[in-house]
């Protein structure tokens, strides 16, 4: 129990566990003769992915690049920018923090049908849903991060007679970065959820959410699973990308030094 | 850098104090009623003095230091620094402040941390580089410029924070129990270095401590304080020479001053 | 105490939001008003436009008081048994949430126990638990419906509760892993000097030490379960529940239904978080513990 994990173990165990699950899945589908309309075997899903790369690529661009990514940068920048503005005014901060915290806990995804009504079927409505979903966690985390400096660090800046901007740039923004990345990690997961759900309320004839609903109707479950696999891969890759950038940017933070 | 032998002997008699504290009161309003953190504090600190504040916790020694730095505002009395109010003196960049913890920014290298006040105060790039090199040399940290704080020992971090306070060449150095968290051997070493630094730079130093040997070893003037309300109970001028090797602590003179400080602390405790 | 101090700023912010909302109502709905007027060949005055934007039956953005009156109509004035009553629909969503929450706590605590007690378990499960949260659950939702139907679940409650649990187990698991591993070496060594077996160490030390962490995770977890319940309703074409009302409003082009359901969801979420927070406080006080 006191042995520390080697790099090999840290990769081998989860990969092994994943392969084991896939293997059991494949075997039980074959042994019990489960209908492919109900649950296709991993090999069948793999074949579906290999056989429909252009369709999957088109769906991916529509949902991830146009919907999720556009919403992510809009909502993210808006959240961080508003946090920087609010931070200047104690009164606003006191009033907005609880409200924003409450909004961050709400099922904002319910706005999806309204956004589709406002912005139409194409990616604009998806980006709008994503932007609003992402906005609150980014706002709340950035505000929390800006408040994360201790009094000694702030006193130090006061002994230099540093102004608001200097204190912000030299102390509070760097100290807030780990929190901002935390918000960004939450945001990437929300972005995909928002972009896909919004497609259930209307979309052009491409997109991952659109494909899932239509293939579902045709009982082409292998295509549904293909989309699930792509979306899972995208979600994990996005998270991994954010974590990687975080490691590079906040290398100094105790949680990153390992 | 001026020659220290002349400055030691020829201090003008009618010199105006650098820090002049007279009748300072500070009362904090809390939910349990008012707390008298400082009551009727009078003190003069001259240029080139090394003044220690000693006393039990709650005696207001740190609060007094923060008042001098303009981090707290007294509720009564007057406090001037170089003839200015503490806030004005702070804007004139008169203070280098060293806190109990090094408080280096983990996202900056040692060099970057020392450079921080210089960036804020708008020194030129070349001047920044020159000064960083100079003060790091002063605290014996040459070659550690590119390291990050967490890669250094506690004592080295604290030395870096002293370098940071020295970088912009303020004439007053305020040190709030800077070595309180370090072990005794490291502390001895740093005390020696601070004395050397003081001799070389001729700064006025105000130093908060709760260690009697540290106070006696370092100071030209020892201010004994006591709590409830926080006040000064004794001011002891040290007759020790400016040149102080570590073994001066075994001399009869040293032990006598230490006794006086201890008596002062005890009297304040009983009173 | 703290709430009383910030009550004024909070109310100010809410008031400001309402003003912005009314402004947006006028701006967004006036296009339709002008179109109607142009068709009728009339030239409406500004006050006529304003009053019209506040009372359209299918507004782009309903005014706040319209939403409030729709909420009133569909909660207080409707019988609870009516399918149009938001109380009826809210109870369905609430049921899903609570089932999902319970299931989520169970899964979260079990996984945490495995992760803390077994090295192999930790190495194999922890990365997948994190990955699970980066997978958009909405993509999986339709499959969950099919599979739970095939497994013999008669209603949509099961798949919806599974989706809610999928989102709510994670905060519990993370907190419990932290909590169960919170005893330090000294405390563990003390029990070892008593010759305690691993079983006793777990129940006498790890579990009690983890309780504050457990309580702290509940509020986040119940909020996640509620979001999961609504997401579940939205993505499984449910016919009952607040999410289903949003779907119906969208299909029939009835914005008032969508907005009322949306606000009912917000109110219900607030009540849930408030209640769980209260229970958490009472339990914590009863156990004499302090906050993490």
Q: In this model, does residue B269 exceed pLDDT 70? A: no
d(CA A175, CA A132): 25
Q: How confident is the model at residue C113 (pLDDT cuts 50, 70, 90)?
A: very high
Q: Is C74 inside any structural domain?
A: no
Tokens of C224: 């996640």
Write the secondary structure of chain A as one string of H (helix), E (strand) and C (coil). Answer: CCCCCCHHHHHHHHHHHHHHHHHHHHHHHHHHCCCCCCCCCHHHHHHHHHHCHHHHHHHHHHHHHHHHHHHHHHHHHHHHHHHHHHHHCHHHHHHHHHHHHHHHCCCHHHHHHHHHHHHCCCHHHHHHHHHHHHHHHHHHHHHHHHCCCCHHHHHHHHHCCCCHHHHHHHHHHHHHHHHHHHHHHHHHHHHHHHHHHHHHCCCCCCCHHHHHHHHHHCCCHHHHHHHHHHHHHHHHHHHHHHHHHHHHHCCCCHHHHC
Number of Cβ within 10 Å of residue A147's Cβ equals 14
| Residue A73: pLDDT band with limits 50, 70, 90 | very high
Q: Do residues C182 and C108 both lie within one domain?
A: yes
Q: CA separation (Å) from B223 to A129, B267, C283?
A: 65, 14, 51
- The domain total for chain C is 2
C277 pLDDT more than 90: no
Query: By CA distance, what is A15's nearest residue in C?
Result: C124
In a domain, C209, yes or no: yes
Same domain, B74 and B118: no
How many C-beta neighbours within 10 Å does residue A144 have? 17
Confidence of residue B5 (pLDDT cuts 50, 70, 90): very low
Residue linked to tokens 């990437």: A188
Give pLDDT, residue A34.
Answer: 86
Residue B86 sits in the same domain as residue B204: yes
CA distance A69 to A130: 9
- Decide if C120 and A116 are in contact by the 8 Å CB cutoff: no
Q: Which of A129-138, B238-247, C274-283 reaches the highest mean pLDDT? A: A129-138
Portion 212-231 of C in contact with A at CB < 8 A: 223, 226-227, 230-231
Once rounded to an integer, what is the mean pLDDT over residues C117-135? 87
Which of B169, B201, B224 terminates a domain? The answer is B169
How many angstroms separate the CA atoms of B257 and B260, rounded? Answer: 5
Give the domain-ending residue among B128, B153, B169.
B169
Same domain, B150 and B176: no
Identify all chain C residues contacting A94, using CB atoms and an 8 Å cutoff.
Answer: 5-6, 9-10
Note whether residue C249 is domain-resident: yes
Q: Which residue has tokens 């330090």?
A: C184
**Cβ-based neighbours of B131, under 8 Å, separated by 6 or more:** B114, B118, B123, B167, B168, B169
Domain CATH code at residue C245:
1.10.3720.10
C-alpha–C-alpha distance, residues B60 and A204, integer Å: 71
User: pLDDT > 90: what percent of chain A?
Assistant: 47
**3-class SS of residue C82:** coil
Quick one: pLDDT band at residue C252, thresholds 50, 70, 90? confident
Domain shared by B48 and B131, yes or no: no
Facing residue for C135 by CB, picked from A106, A117, A232? A232
Q: What is the pLDDT of residues B6-31, one digit of tens each?
A: 444 444 445 678 889 988 889 888 88
Q: Does C63 touch chain A (CB under 8 A)?
A: no
Q: Is residue B158 part of a domain?
A: yes
Report how far residue C139's alpha carbon sits from residue A230's, in angstroms, rounded to the nearest whole number: 10
Q: Is the CB of residue C125 less than 8 Å from the CB of residue A17?
A: yes
Asked if the model's pLDDT at residue C291 lies above 70, the reply is: no
Residues C47 and C100 in one domain: no
Query: ipTM exceeding 0.85?
Result: no
Instruction: Single out the residue in B150, B169, B188 at which a domain terminates.
Output: B169
On average, the pLDDT of chain B sits at 85
B117:A155 CB<8 A: no
Strand ranges inside chain B, DSSP E: 19-30, 33-45, 50-54, 76-81, 95-98, 172-176, 204-209, 221-226, 231-237
Cα separation of A184 and B147, whole Å?
29
Q: Which residues contact B10 (CB under 8 A, 6 or more apart)?
A: none
**H runs (alpha helix) in C118-206:** 119-134, 137-150, 157-180, 185-193, 198-201
Q: Which CATH number is associated with domain A41-257? A: 1.10.3720.10
Chains C and A, touching by 3 or more CB pairs within 8 angstroms: yes
* DSSP β-bridge partners for residue B176: B208
pLDDT value at residue B15:
66
Q: Do B36 and B151 fall into the same domain?
A: no
> How confident is residue A59, by pLDDT bands cut at 50, 70 and 90?
very high
C261 close contact with A: CB closer than 8 A: yes
Distance from C-alpha of B94 to C-alpha of A1, rounded to nearest angstrom? 56
pLDDT of residue C4: 64
Asked if the structure places residue B200 within a domain, the reply is: yes
Rounded Cα gap, residues B9 and B227, in angstroms = 36
Contact B180, B210 (CB under 8 A): yes
Measured distance CA(C108)–CA(A128) in Å, rounded: 33
- pTM for the model: 0.83
Considering only CB atoms, B93 lies closest to which of A161, A171, A250, namely: A161
pLDDT score, position B270: 62
Do residues B175 and B127 share a domain?
no
CATH of the domain at B201: 3.40.50.300
Residue C260 reports pLDDT greater than 50? yes
* Calpha distance C33→C48 (Å, rounded): 9
Choose from A113, A209, A218 for mutation: most chain C CBs within 10 A.
A113
Q: Do A106 and C269 touch (CB under 8 A)?
A: yes
Whether residue C259 lies within 8 A of chain A, CB to CB, comes out as: yes
Report the residue from A166, A174, A257 with minimal CB separation from B120. Answer: A166
Question: Chains A and C: how many Cβ contacts under 8 Å?
Answer: 150
Between the alpha carbon of residue C148 and those of residues A23, A38, C153, the distances in Å are 21, 10, 6
Please tell me whether residues B85 and B208 are part of one structural domain.
yes
Within 10 Å of residue C43's Cβ, how many Cβ atoms? 9
String of DSSP letters for B138-207: HTT-TT-TTS-GGGS-HHHHHHHHHHHHHTTT-SEEEEESTTTTS-HHHHHHHHHHHHHHHHHH--EEEE
Residue B236 in domain: yes
Taking a C-beta distance cutoff of 8 angstroms, is the pair C97, C163 a contact? no
Whether residue B244 is contained in a domain is answered as yes
Looking at residue C43, the DSSP 8-state letter turns out to be: -
Distance CA B209, CA B53 (A): 6
What are the structure tokens assigned to C264, written together?
């009912």
Expressed as residue numbers, the domain containing C210 is 86-286
Which residues of chain A neighbour B89 with C-beta distances below 8 Å?
none
Residue B7 included in any domain = no
B161 located within any domain: yes
B32 Cβ contact list (under 8 Å, min separation 6):
none
Chain A 55-94, CB below 8 Å of chain C: which residues? 91-92, 94
Angle at C166 between CA C163 and CA C168, to 5 degrees: 110
Note whether C52 and C99 are same-domain residues: no
| Other Cβ atoms closer than 10 A to B79 | 21
pLDDT of residue B168: 86
Q: Clarify whether residues C98 and C186 are in a common domain.
A: yes
B2 falls within a domain: no
Same domain, C112 and C232: yes
Provide the number of structural domains found in chain B. 2
Asked if residue A102 lies in contact with residue C270, where contact means CB atoms within 8 angstroms, the answer is yes
What is the pLDDT confidence band of residue B245, given thresholds at 50, 70 and 90? confident
| Backbone φ and ψ of A204, nearest 5° | -65, 175
Give the range of the structural domain holding residue B116, as residue numbers without chain letter.
105-169
Q: Which residues contact residue A12 at a Cβ distance below 8 angstroms, ignoring those fewer than 6 apart?
A: none
Identify the CA nearest to B48 among candidates B178, B199, B245. B199
Tell me which residue in A5, A112, A209 faces C123 most closely, judged by beta carbons.
Answer: A5
Residue-wise pLDDT tens digits, B138-174: 888 888 989 999 899 888 999 899 899 888 888 899 9
pLDDT of residue C290: 56
Q: Provide the mean pLDDT of chain A.
A: 89
- Which of the given ranges, A122-131, B75-84, C49-58, has the highest pLDDT on average? A122-131
What average pLDDT does range C162-174 have in this prediction?
A: 92
When pLDDT is averaged across residues A155-168 and rounded to a whole number, the result is 88
Is the Cβ pair A114, C269 closer than 8 Å? no
In this prediction, residue B1 carries a pLDDT of: 39
Same domain for C32 and C118? no
């Amino acid at each position: 129990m006191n042995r520390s994990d080697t790099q090999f173990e840290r990769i081998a165990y989860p990969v092994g566990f994943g392969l084991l699950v896939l293997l059991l899945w494949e075997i039980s589908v074959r042994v019990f003769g489960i209908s492919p309309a109900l649950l296709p075997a991993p090999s069948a899903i793999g074949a579906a992915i290999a056989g429909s790369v252009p369709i999957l690529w088109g769906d991916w661009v529509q949902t991830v690049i146009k919907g999720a990514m556009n919403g992510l940068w809009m909502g993210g920048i808006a959240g961080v920018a508003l946090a920087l503005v609010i931070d200047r005014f104690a009164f606003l901060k006191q009033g907005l923090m609880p409200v924003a915290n409450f909004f961050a806990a709400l099922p904002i995804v319910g706005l999806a049908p309204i956004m589709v009504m406002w912005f139409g079927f194409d990616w604009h409505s998806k980006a709008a849903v994503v932007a609003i979903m992402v906005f609150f966690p980014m706002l709340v985390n950035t505000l929390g991060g800006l408040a994360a400096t201790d009094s000694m660090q702030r006193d130090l800046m006061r002994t230099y007679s540093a102004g608001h901007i200097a204190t912000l740039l030299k102390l509070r923004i760097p100290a807030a970065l780990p929190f901002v990345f935390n918000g960004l990690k939450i945001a990437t997961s929300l972005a995909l959820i928002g972009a896909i759900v919004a497609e259930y309320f209307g979309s052009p004839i491409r997109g991952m959410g659109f494909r899932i609903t239509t293939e579902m109707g045709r009982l082409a479950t292998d295509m549904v699973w293909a989309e699930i696999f792509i979306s899972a891969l995208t979600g994990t890759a996005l998270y991994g990308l954010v974590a990687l950038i975080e490691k590079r940017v906040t290398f100094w933070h105790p949680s990153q030094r390992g | 850098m001026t020659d220290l032998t002349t400055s030691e002997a020829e201090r003008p008699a009618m010199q105006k104090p650098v820090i002049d504290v007279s009748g300072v009161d500070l009362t904090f309003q809390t939910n349990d009623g008012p707390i008298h953190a400082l009551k009727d504090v009078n003190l003069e600190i001259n240029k080139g003095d090394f003044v220690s504040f000693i006393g039990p916790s709650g005696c207001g020694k740190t609060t007094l230091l923060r008042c001098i730095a303009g981090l707290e505002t007294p509720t009564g009395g007057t406090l001037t620094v170089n003839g200015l109010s503490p806030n004005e003196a702070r804007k004139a960049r008169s203070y280098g402040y060293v806190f109990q913890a090094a408080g280096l920014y983990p996202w900056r290298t040692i060099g970057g941390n020392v450079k921080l006040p210089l960036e804020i105060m708008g020194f030129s790039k070349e001047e920044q580089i020159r000064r960083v090199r100079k003060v790091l040399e002063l605290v014996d940290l040459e070659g550690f410029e590119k390291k990050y704080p967490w890669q250094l020992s506690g004592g080295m971090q604290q030395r870096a924070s002293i370098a940071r306070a020295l970088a912009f060449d303020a004439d007053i150095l305020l040190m709030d129990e800077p070595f309180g968290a370090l072990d005794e051997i490291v502390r001895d070493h740093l005390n020696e270095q601070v004395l050397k630094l003081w001799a070389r730079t001729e700064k006025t130093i105000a130093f908060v401590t709760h260690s009697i040997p540290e106070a006696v070893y370092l100071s030209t003037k020892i201010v004994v304080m006591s709590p409830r309300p926080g006040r000064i109970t004794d001011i002891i001028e040290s007759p020790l020479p400016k040149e102080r090797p570590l073994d001066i602590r075994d001399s009869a003179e040293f032990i006598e001053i230490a006794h006086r400080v201890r008596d002062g602390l005890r009297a304040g405790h009983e009173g | 105490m703290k709430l009383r101090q910030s009550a004024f700023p909070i109310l100010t912010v809410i008031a400001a939001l309402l003003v912005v909302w009314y402004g947006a109502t006028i701006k967004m709905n006036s296009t339709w008003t002008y179109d109607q007027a142009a068709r009728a060949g009339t030239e409406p005055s500004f006050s006529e436009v304003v009053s019209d934007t506040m009372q359209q039956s299918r507004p782009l953005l309903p005014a706040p008081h319209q939403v409030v009156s729709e909420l009133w109509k569909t909660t207080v004035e409707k019988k609870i048994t009516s399918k149009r009553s938001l109380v009826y629909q809210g109870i369905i969503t609430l049921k899903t949430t609570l089932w999902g929450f319970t299931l989520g706590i169970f899964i979260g605590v079990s996984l945490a126990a495995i992760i803390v007690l077994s090295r192999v378990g930790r190495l194999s499960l922890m990365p997948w638990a994190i990955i699970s949260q980066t997978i958009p659950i909405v993509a999986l939702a339709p499959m969950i419906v099919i599979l739970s139907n095939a497994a013999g679940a008669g209603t949509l409650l099961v798949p919806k509760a599974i989706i809610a649990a999928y989102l709510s187990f994670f905060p519990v698991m993370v907190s419990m892993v932290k909590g169960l591993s919170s005893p330090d070496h000294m405390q563990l060594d003390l029990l070892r000097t008593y010759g305690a077996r691993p079983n006793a160490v777990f129940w006498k030390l790890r579990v009690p030490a983890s309780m504050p962490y457990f309580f702290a995770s509940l509020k986040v977890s119940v909020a996640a379960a509620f979001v999961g319940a609504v997401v579940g309703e939205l993505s499984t074409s449910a016919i009952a529940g607040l999410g289903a009302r949003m779907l119906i409003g969208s299909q029939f082009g009835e914005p008032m239904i969508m907005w009322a359901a949306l606000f009912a969801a917000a109110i219900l979420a607030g009540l849930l978080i408030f209640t769980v927070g209260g229970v958490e406080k009472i339990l914590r006080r009863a156990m004499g513990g302090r906050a993490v």
